[in-house]
Amino acid sequence: MKRIGVFTSGGDSPGMNAAVRAVVRTCMHQNIVPFGIYEGYKGLIEGNIKQLSSRDVSNIIQRGGTFLRSARCKEFFAKEGRQKAFDNIKKYNLDGIVAIGGDGTFTGAKIFNEEHQIPFVGIPGTIDNDLYGTDYCIGYDTALNTVIDAVDKIRDTASSHNRLFIVEVMGRDAGFIALRSGIGVGAEAILIPETPTYIDKLIEKLKDQSTVEKQSMIIIVAEGDESGGAYKVAEQVKAKCPEFDTRVTVLGHIQRGGSPSALDRVLASRLGNAAVKALIDGKTNVMVGVLHRDISYIPFDKAIKHHQQINLDLLNLAEVLSC
């Protein structure tokens, strides 16, 4: 390995900059020339590639988002687009690529490797934390803290007015943010895609909660829950419980922003360093993660096909503590 490229792809997550910084500085420590590929696969196709120095990644570890930027690229779905990307890789004499992203990023890398034999190593960067083969993905811890901070503020106003707040958090296919943040804020109910949602049981529970003279109630809803999201839940609650002063808050993309937490900065730094070492050791088509605090390497096939499972103990804990 003499020249390594790095890019961020898919949805941004806090800590991506820390991962890029680690890749660049590890490369330089190993006498490898690092290159930044701007806007993910789109930049690979368009040749938006620049050699990076240690100074280029100074003062970015604390910044959210990704200074390399990210973009959706339909052209990469076509073989012709991937050929353009390959031509640019050869133009810049890149020996390997570090791809920071999620399922879609790793799927593209796997297909590209099969066609052109360019070594790829992936770093999991998604706030949903649903990738198989790692305990934590970059951005998840920061997103959790963002949700908890926001809901704590919502609880203040809910308590002042005896209100029921239904708060929607990100999680189109996975309820990891909803489950852990719900426990963290003391939510009265948590609705996630992995478990069935019974509105009648929810309403019965809320009525029981209201009889114990709670000053406020919070429901956390993952956006991908079968109930249809916070507004749909609110409609059904209002229809059957008009006595509740019900409000809805959708946190949305605020969860992707902000300065990364210490956990995310350290995680991203470890994974960036390990990704470069993996390429040096001849590994390819693998995602580098952390399992039980140790660095692990998971084939893209497994990382893509499988999803991390919800911790049933946490589900039970949430139910016990919500009474």
Q: How far apart, in whole angstroms, are the C-alpha atoms of residue 41 and residue 35?
A: 14
Structure tokens given for 219 = 């429901």
DSSP 186: T
Q: How far apart, in whole angstroms, are the C-alpha atoms of residue 95 and residue 32?
A: 10
Pairing of strands 245-250, 286-291: unpaired
Q: How far apart, in whole angstroms, are the C-alpha atoms of residue 26 and residue 37?
A: 17
Largest CA distance in the chain: 70
Q: How far apart, in whole angstroms, are the C-alpha atoms of residue 239 and residue 219?
A: 17
Residue 128 annotated in active site:
yes
Do 16 and 122 form a contact (C-beta atoms < 8 A)? no
Structure tokens given for 303 = 């990382």
Do 170 and 177 form a contact (C-beta atoms < 8 A)? yes
DSSP labels for 259-281?
Answer: PPPHHHHHHHHHHHHHHHHHHHT
Angle CA 81–303–169, to nearest 5: 95
Tell me which of 12, 95, 103, 128 is the catalytic residue: 128
Q: How far apart, in whole angstroms, are the C-alpha atoms of residue 301 and residue 91?
A: 29
Any idea which residues carry the catalytic annotation? 128
